A and B are shown apart, each in its own frame.
Chain A
Amino acid sequence: MLMKGNEAIGEAAIRAGCQAYFAYPITPQNELGEYMARRMPEEGRVFLQAESEVAAINMVYGAAGAGVRVMTSSSSPGISLKQEGISYLAGAELPAVIVNMVRGGPGLGSIQPAQSDYFQATKGGGHGDYRLIVFGPSTIQELVDLTGLAFELADKYRNPVMILGDGALGQMMEPVEFPDKDEVKLPPKPWATTGMKGRPQNVINSLHLDPEDLDRHNRHLQEKYREIAAREVRYEIEHEDADYFLVAYGTTARVARNAMNKAREEGHRVGLIRPITLWPFPDVAFEKVIGRAKAFLTVEMSAGQMVEDVRLAVNGRVPVRFYGRMGGVIPSQREIYEALLKMIQGGEKA
C-alpha cells in the first residue's frame, strides 16, 4: 500500500490497539489528525480534537491512567507545550505514544523538516529527571514498525515513548505493509483507574511530598531507565569494516547513505551508523567499529545535537566531525559528500 508517513502512523497505531487519539492542528503533521478523525470512529474508538496541545497531552494522561493505549501527535512548537504533561506522564509512569514531526525552530521557526528537537526529546524536555524512549525512523515502513513497537514498549516499561520524525518523513509517500490487527496482545494493567470494583483504590500520581519518598521514586525510575538502556538499544551499521563513518538518523540518514554510496564508488571505505533509538543512544554501535574507524562525521538537520552523544560514545578516541543544516534545509548528498571528503583527506588530524 502506498501511503503518506503521517497517515501510516495513524493506521499503524490503530493496528497496535490504540484506543484513543487526542489531536491539535499544527503543520506538518495535520494528515495524522485528519486520518484519525476518519478512522478511529470507524473502529469504534476515541478521536477528539482538544482545545490546545496542553489539553491534548492531559487527555492522554487521563486515558493512559484509565488503562488504554493512547497517542497524541504534534510538531515542535506544539511539543514544547506538551512538555508539562510529558513530565507528569513520566513521573506517574503512564504509557503513551507521542509523535513529533519536527519542524525548524526556535520560536515559530518554519514548517520545513528539521532535527533540532533532539535535545528536547532525548535529554528530558520537561522538568525533572526522566527519560523517554525515543525512536528516529528513517522510512515510512520503519515509521509503521516503530509505531507498533512504541505502544509495546510504552506498556512494558510504563513509560512514554516518542517517535521523533520530521516534516519530510510525515509528508513523503512510500509503499508500506501493516501488521494484522489480531496479532496485538494487550498486557493487563492492574494499576489503572477503572473504578475500584473488587479491589482497593488505585491512584495515578506524580506527587511525593516526602523527600526520602521522592528520592526512592527517582531511584526506581533511574533503575527502569538503566534496564531500558540495557535492553532496548536499536541501530543499523552499514559496512562495519569501513575506515570512516557517517552518523545520521531519520531523513538525514537517507541522504547520508547516498553520500556514502558515492564515496564508496570513488573507492573510499565509508560506512554508516544509523541510530534507531535516539534514547537509549546506541553507544554499543561505536564500540563495534572503534578499533578500525579513523573518524566519524555526524550529519544532522540541526546546529549539532546528536553529535554530543556521538562524542560521548567515541570519548575522544578518534575525531568526531559535524555537518549540519538548519532552519528546515535538508543537507544535500553533495554537501555531505564534500564534508566527508574533507574529513577523509584531512586524515586523523581532520
Chain B
Amino acid sequence: MKQIFGRPKALQDRPTHYCPGCTHGIIHRLIAEVIDELGIQEKTIGIAPVGCSVLAYDYFNVDMQQAAHGRAPAVATGIKRVLPDRVVFAYQGDGDLASIGTAEIIHAAARGEKITVIFVNNTLYGMTGGQMAPTTLLAQKTTTSPLGRREGQHGFPLKITEMLALAGGSAYIARVSVHNPAHIARAKKAILEAFKTQIAGLGFSLVEVLSTCPTNWGLSPLEALKWLEENMIPNYPLRVLKAVEGGEK
C-alpha cells in the first residue's frame, strides 16, 4: 500500500510534553515538513528558546542549540556567520522574542541576518504559568494582570512583527495563524517562503504564528481556537508584511 501521510523525517518519533490543544505541535510539524521538502535536514541548525518550546531539540531531528532567554537571534547569528552555507532557524515564543529578547531580534533584523525566526505568539508566558506578556491583549486576564490588562497600568500590546517589517535588513515578514486547516496550509506556505528567503540569501525572515494556550487561557482546546480567531486576529492581522524582490511570492 502506498503511504500518503507520515511523520516528517525532521521530527523525532517521540511524544511531546505540550498540553492538550496547544498548537506548538502543529507548528513543529509545519517546520519539519518544510525542512523535508527543501531537503535541508543535514544542513539545518535550529535554536530552542526558553519557554514552553525549550525542549524543541527533543522533537526536531536536526542539530540544535538551546539558547538563553531571548538570545536565540544572537546565537543564530553566531552560527550563521561562521557557517554561512547552513540553514539556521530560531524558534521563539512571545515572552522570549517580544520582551526580554527585543534588542536581539530587532538588531538581527536590522543587520539582515540570513536566518529564519518562527515566532509563536500565544499572548502570555506559558511555561511559567500564564503571566502577562508584551503581546497580552487589552482586558485579557493573566496571572500578573488578574483584573485584565489595562493600558494605563500595563501599556499596550506590542506589535513587534510590524516593527520588524520596517527594518532595512528584513526580507520576508509575515503573520499567520494555525486555528483551522485552511490557515495551517497558509502558515506552512509562509514558513516555506521564510526558509527559501534565507536560502536565497535575501536577508532576515520571520513568521509570526498566532497560537493557542488552552491551559493558561482557561479554555477547552476548541474554545481556545475560537478565542484566537475572535480576539487575536483583529489585534494581530494576518498578512505578509514584507517580501523583498528576488524571492518567490
Contacts and interface: CB of A to CB of B under 8 A. Distances in A.
Interface in B54-93: 54-55, 57, 61-68, 71, 74-83, 86
24 contacts: A50-B74, A54-B74, A55-B71, A55-B77, A55-B104, A58-B68, A58-B74, A58-B78, A59-B81, A61-B71, A62-B77, A62-B79, A65-B75, A65-B79, A67-B82, A195-B62, A195-B63, A196-B61, A203-B57, A204-B64, A204-B66, A205-B66, A206-B66, A207-B54
Interface residues of A, number: 40
B69 to A, nearest CB: 9
Contact of A58 (B62, B64, B67): B67
A205 to B, nearest CB: 4
B41, B42, B64, B77: most-surrounded residue (chain A CB, <10 A): B77
A332 interface: no
A60 interface: yes
Nearest to A56: B74
Contact of A193 (B12, B65, B77): B65
Nearest to B66: A205
Contact of A194 (B61, B64, B75, B86): B86
A61 B63 contact: no
Which of A54, A60, A206: most chain B CB closer than 10 A? A54
Interface in A29-60: 46, 48, 50-52, 54-56, 58-60
A58 B81 contact: no
Interface of A: 19-20, 22, 46, 48, 50-52, 54-56, 58-68, 70, 84-85, 88, 92, 193-198, 201-207
Interface in B72-125: 74-83, 86, 103-104, 106-107
A44 to B, nearest CB: 11
A248 to B, nearest CB: 36
Contacts of B45: 66, 193-195
A197 B83 CA distance: 14
A25 to B, nearest CB: 15
Nearest to B104: A55
A200 B159 CA distance: 39
- Smallest CB-CB A-B distances: 6 pairs: A62-B78, A58-B74, A59-B78, A193-B63, A51-B107, A62-B75
A20 B82 contact: yes
A92 B81 CA distance: 20
Given A61-B65, A206-B66, 14 more contacts: A20-B78, A59-B74, A61-B68, A61-B71, A61-B74, A62-B47, A62-B65, A68-B82, A195-B45, A195-B62, A197-B42, A201-B57, A202-B63, A207-B54
